[in-house]
Amino acid sequence: MPKFSYTAKTKEGKSIRENEEALSRDDLVAKLRGRGLFIVSINEMKQKTDKPPAIGFIFYRKGKRSSIKLYDLALFARNLFTTLSSGVTLLRSLEIIAQQTESAKLEKALKECGKSVKEGLSLSEAIAKYPYIFPSLWRGVVEVGETSGNLPFVMEKLADYLEVRMEFERKVKSALVYPSIVMSAAIIAVGVFFKFILPKFSGIFEQFNIELPLLTKIMFWISREVSQHFLIIIGSFVALIVVLTRSFKNPQTKKMWDKVGLRLPIAGDLIFIASLERFTSAVSILLESGLPLVSTLEIAARATGNSFLEKNLIYIRDRVRDGGSLSIEFTKQELFPPLISEMSKIGEETGSLPQVFGRISLHYRKELSTRIDRLVSAFEPLMIVFMGVIIGFIVISLFLPLFRLSTLGGAKGL
């Protein structure tokens, strides 16, 4: 049975460092939580073995993955809040969380951040070195927490926000799994049919030397083109995906896509609502953390993920910085819905802007979820109609020559 060394804290804050056997790490976690202990760290003790060490190239420690998911960042924020609230120093907290994270890339970044903090930098300055991991929202929240001396509080708010976003994104991805599978299966089925099955029918009809109907000729032409250029079609499709993916990463091209995306039918509304949800959520958490309104608008504008909206929001920030009212500036911008300007006005009058923007973000989150559910619900009948049209086209194209053959056969019999 594996043996683990663990560090935990009691409810009174007393540290416990002991060794204990358990079936697995999860089993030990359950035992310790059952005793009412707060787990700081758990490490499996190496067992003696007679086997020679394995030889090979090791890029990441076993159990670690190279990517960084939203889950990793949410867990980091939650664990940092927990350790700091328990009296653990920031440097030691970073060391503990770095060991426990499931992401090798995040582990390396946290260790580097720990070194920077040890050298005298603040945590916000340390994470600013990794903008591809920690977005501007992180840096703004952490800086507020350090300035106010209440870093655990703001990390708790950030963890809450990330966990809500993670749950919302999980629901959206789950809703899109079924349509993606059905669409992929339909495309593969049609491709296989045109590549492998239709050419055999073409050979059969050629043996009878009959004039094929126009519909059948079109279908066989498509089948012939797919069969002859199958690899080229697949390669072109993959190349198109690669080009589009890289174009989104190019700043100039991304600006164009961001503007065009908002004008797309159906998808444009979803992109717009999702961007507004990210903006209002960021405003809520930043204001609640104590960041000034002007700085909040600047950071939240970047959180939208859309350069076109960001440009308009930065314009509003400039007007607010010059003494303008947030609600009035939103009213002047026809791009944004009246809900934001009206609710902003209520927040300004009552002094509850963080709570108001929190309600707006919840509204947009629910609206986006509802729209996606409706699209998914409408997708199934649309796919049935689409597949019905394709199958009907194929069946009719194949049966028309068969009818002509039966007619010719009947005539010869007479």
**Do 12 and 89 share a structural domain?**
no
Residue 146 counted as domain residue:
no
- Please enumerate in sequence order all residues whose Cβ is within 8 A of that of 329, keeping only pairs 6 or more positions apart, or say none: 316, 319, 320
- CA 82 to chain centroid: 25
**Do 355 and 312 share a structural domain?**
yes
238-263 pLDDT, tens digit per residue, is 898 888 878 777 777 878 888 888 88
**Do 193 and 114 share a structural domain?**
no
**Do 39 and 87 share a structural domain?**
no
The DSSP code sequence of 71-137 is HHHHHHHHHHHHHHHTT--HHHHHHHHHHH-SBHHHHHHHHHHHHHHHTT--HHHHHTT-TTTS-HH
Burial of 280 (0-12, 13-18, 19+ CB in 10 A): buried
**Do 405 and 335 share a structural domain?**
yes
**Do 66 and 25 share a structural domain?**
no
Tell me the CA distances in angstroms from 83 to 4, 40, 73, one per residue in order: 20, 7, 15
Residue with tokens 């059952």: 34
Q: What type of residue sits at position 9?
A: K
Residue 174 burial (CB count, 10 A): 10
- Name which of 74, 98, 249 is nearest 156 in CA terms: 74
**Do 221 and 310 share a structural domain?**
yes
Q: Do 276 and 364 contact (CB within 8 A), yes or no? A: yes
**Do 126 and 92 share a structural domain?**
yes
Stretches in the chain below the pLDDT threshold 70? 1, 7-15, 26, 38-41, 43, 45-63, 404-414
Residue 223: its H or E element: helix 214-228
Residue 53 counted as domain residue:
no
Residue 147 counted as domain residue:
no
Rounded Cα distance, 125 and 143, in Å = 8
**Do 360 and 248 share a structural domain?**
yes
Supply φ then ψ for residue 65, to 5 degrees.
-110, 160
Q: Do 389 and 214 contact (CB within 8 A), yes or no? A: no
CATH classification of the domain holding 23:
3.10.20
Give residue 75's domain range: 62-134
**Do 200 and 343 share a structural domain?**
yes
Buried-state track 285-312, b at ≥16 Cβ within 10 A, e below 16: bbbbbbbebebbbbbbbbbbebbbbbeb
Residue 99 counted as domain residue:
yes
* Structure tokens given for 355: 């709570």
Of 90, 106, 134, the one marking the end of a domain is 134
* Structure tokens given for 51: 């086997």
Supply φ then ψ for residue 91, to 5 degrees.
-60, -45
Which residues does residue 16 pair with via DSSP β-bridges, in sequence order?
Answer: 8
The DSSP code sequence of 173-221 is HHHHHHHHHHHHHHHHHHHHIIIIIHHHHHHHHHHHT-PPPHHHHHHHH
Q: Do 46 and 24 contact (CB within 8 A), yes or no? A: no
Residue 55 counted as domain residue:
no
Q: Do 102 and 72 contact (CB within 8 A), yes or no? A: yes
26-53 pLDDT, tens digit per residue, is 677 777 777 777 665 676 766 544 443 4
Sign of the torsion formed by the C-alpha atoms of 381, 387, 393 and 397: negative
Residue 145 counted as domain residue:
no
**Do 215 and 94 share a structural domain?**
no
**Do 12 and 125 share a structural domain?**
no
Structure confidence at residue 57 (pLDDT) = 35
Residue 253 counted as domain residue:
yes
Residue 148 counted as domain residue:
no
> The sheet that has 15-21: what strands, in order across it?
15-21, 3-9, 38-44
CATH classification of the domain holding 110:
1.20.81.30
Structure confidence at residue 112 (pLDDT) = 93
State the Cα angle at 188 between 186 and 191, rounded to 5°: 105
Structure confidence at residue 375 (pLDDT) = 82
Structure confidence at residue 169 (pLDDT) = 82
Rounded Cα distance, 393 and 216, in Å = 9
Burial of 276 (0-12, 13-18, 19+ CB in 10 A): buried
- Please enumerate in sequence order all residues whose Cβ is within 8 A of that of 321, keeping only pairs 6 or more positions apart, or say none: 294
Number of domains, the chain: 3
Q: Do 105 and 66 contact (CB within 8 A), yes or no? A: yes
